[in-house]
Amino acid sequence: MTDYSNPEYKSLIELANIARERAYAPYSKYRVGAALRTKTGKVYTGVNVENAAYPHTMCAERVAIFKAISEGEKEFEVIAVATDNGGSPCGGCRQVLAEFSLDAVVLIANGNGDLLKVMTVAELLPEAFTPNHLK
């Protein structure tokens, strides 16, 4: 059974919601924040960044992941994703998460800081295509 009162989860959700305030979402008004904790304990936040040319929009989860990668981190433990209504990561973000860890925990939270769902990347993206498929 998942411990929804885990203080580390609450801290990551809070960081995701704080980050969410900095989202650039002038078109959809759908602000997303993410907070990613690596296996070394470092935390990287991200926000969605929209663009008038919609395909160039970037999701909060990928921003956090790419920040971590750019700092040399490639092993992730948990990511908190916060939206007003507890939205789930898109397919692209699920695939990027699967690239690095199917065991990483995904926390889905709303804008009030309520933890709505806890799952692993493998549960979020069953039968994921991973680097192991290329061997």
Q: Cα–Cα distance between 80 and 74 in angstroms, integer?
A: 17
Q: Cα–Cα distance between 50 and 90 in angstroms, integer?
A: 14
pLDDT for 4: 72
Question: In sequence order, which residues have a C-beta less than 8 Å from that of residue 29 and are 6 or more positions away?
Answer: none
Q: Which of 50, 61, 77, 123 is catalytic?
A: 61
pLDDT 10s digit of each residue in the chain, 135 long?
Answer: 466 789 999 999 999 999 999 999 999 999 999 999 999 999 999 999 999 999 999 999 999 999 999 999 999 999 999 999 999 999 999 999 999 999 999 999 999 999 999 999 999 999 999 988 998
pTM equals 0.94
Backbone angles phi, psi at 27, to 5 degrees: -95, -55
Known active-site residue 75: no
pLDDT for 5: 81
pLDDT for 135: 87
In the chain the domains, ranked by start, together with CATH numbers, are 7-134 (3.40.140.10)
pLDDT for 2: 63
pLDDT for 94: 98
